Amino acid sequence: MESIGITCPIKFITGISCAGCGMSRAWMAFLQLDIAKAFAYHPLFWLVPIAVIV
């Protein structure tokens, strides 16, 4: 789907970003120690490890 310009099917259909939009990019930025960029991509990226632990 990315080859035709659809990166998120939910956003494509509804026009609204889904809960996961930007999450992967946020984690990649975080792992590169770019915290500001990580929060810009998805401000709740840090909740994933907490949810997994709980």
Band of residue 2 on the pLDDT scale cut at 50, 70, 90:
low
Is residue 33 a part of any domain in this protein? Answer: yes
Q: Is residue 41 part of a domain?
A: yes
Which of the two residues, 3 and 45, has the higher pLDDT score? Answer: 45
Domain assignment present for 40 = yes
Q: Which domain holds residue 51?
A: 20-54
Task: Read off the pLDDT band of 41 (50, 70, 90).
Answer: confident
Q: What six digits make up the tokens of 48? A: 């994933």
**Is residue 7 domain-resident?**
no
| Whether pLDDT at 48 is above 80 | yes
Longest dimension (CA), the chain: 38
User: Which residue is listed with tokens 């939009």?
Assistant: 21
Determine, yes or no, domain membership for 10.
no
- Residue 8 reports pLDDT greater than 90: no
Whole-number Å distance between alpha carbons of 25 and 23: 5
Question: What is the total count of domains within the chain?
Answer: 1
| Contact assessment for residue 27 and residue 21, using Cβ atoms and an 8 Å cutoff | no
- 53 pLDDT tier (thresholds 50, 70, 90): very high
38 in a structural domain: yes
Q: DSSP characters for 17-50?
A: --TTTTHHHHHHHHHTT-HHHHHHH-TTTTHHHH
